[in-house]
Amino acid sequence: MRPTGFLTAFLVLAAGGAGAADYRYDTSYKVSLGVLPIARMTFQTAVENERYTISGQFHSSSLVDIVREVSANSTVSGRMSGGAMNPERYVLDYKSGKRNHIYEVLFAGGNVVETKVTPERPKPDTWVPVQPGDLKSVLDPIGALLLPGNADVCGQTLPVYDGESRMDLVLSPNRSATFSAGSAKGEAIVCSVRYVPKSGYRQGRKDIEYLKSVSGMEIWFAKTATLQLYAPVYARIPTRYGTVHVTAEKFDG
């Protein structure tokens, strides 16, 4: 199954960003289902002359690979402006077993101007198509989770488009908590998350319906030391198969 919905947005998240000076940083996360490790993610962020590129790699664990090997390479590039990331090109190369799909999205002025999926995925009769209005003022899945340092972190809705699905992640205040990620330690802002599918999904799909109705989703944001930018350090995602935990192991905190 392609990681559609809230999990998509987090599985391609990155910690890092851009500033006036050139900047490079690596970060990593572990993904577990309950106590069972199921995947690892690594990301590389590079900034040069206010242009940024974030590259990420996701790979399922050897235990999961026994059933089906899953991997993904994602890249987003764009320009920094006013402390915010403005994407220009987002690519996700997703492999599940013998299936391989590449999603490429081009942005201009915050709007999606072109989407390519190779090869094209067949759409069932119950498919909710993406409408032109759904592609206005949207964010790529990586940049959506990187928030300016002066943002009202838990008081906003993140409009996300991943090349196929259009979703809103509605954040609301929850609490604060301490976190530890390698040598980084500190306070995190904890947001409750509500997943709202907009289009680009099969109506009645069980995992989508579950995510729409479930409570207990959380995402923790902490400020990066280098850029004073809010980035995720932890997420809790209830699924039909158990709770997925995404935990930063290396963070610029």
The domain segmentation of the chain, as residue ranges, is 6-250
pLDDT of residue 21: 46
pLDDT of residue 197: 96
Q: Residue 242 class from Cβ within 10 Å (0-12 exposed, 13-18 middle, 19+ buried)? A: middle
Question: What's this model's pTM, rounded to 2 decimal places?
Answer: 0.86
Partners of residue 160 on adjacent β-strands: 139, 167
Give Cβ neighbours of residue 3 (< 8 Å, ≥ 6 apart): 11, 72
pLDDT of residue 12: 42
User: Which residue type does 182 have?
Assistant: G
**What is d(CA 170, CA 198) in angstroms, rounded to the nearest whole number?**
12
User: Which residue type does 150 have?
Assistant: N
pLDDT of residue 46: 83
Q: What is the DSSP string of 24-66?
A: EEEEEEEEEETTEEEEEEEEEEEEETTEEEEEEEEEE-HHHHT
Angle at 127 between CA 124 and CA 131, to 5 degrees: 140
CB neighbourhood size of 220 (10 A): 24
* pLDDT tens for the 253 residues of the chain, in order: 444 444 444 544 433 333 334 677 788 999 999 888 888 888 888 888 889 899 989 988 765 555 567 889 999 999 988 777 899 999 999 988 888 999 999 999 999 999 999 999 889 999 999 999 999 999 999 889 989 888 999 999 999 999 999 999 999 999 999 999 988 899 999 999 999 999 999 999 998 999 999 999 999 999 987 767 799 999 999 998 899 999 999 987 5
pLDDT of residue 38: 86
pLDDT of residue 63: 58
Compute the half-sphere exposure of residue 192: CA atoms within 13 Å on the CB side of its CA. 8
Residue 204 DSSP code: T
Partners of residue 170 on adjacent β-strands: 157, 194
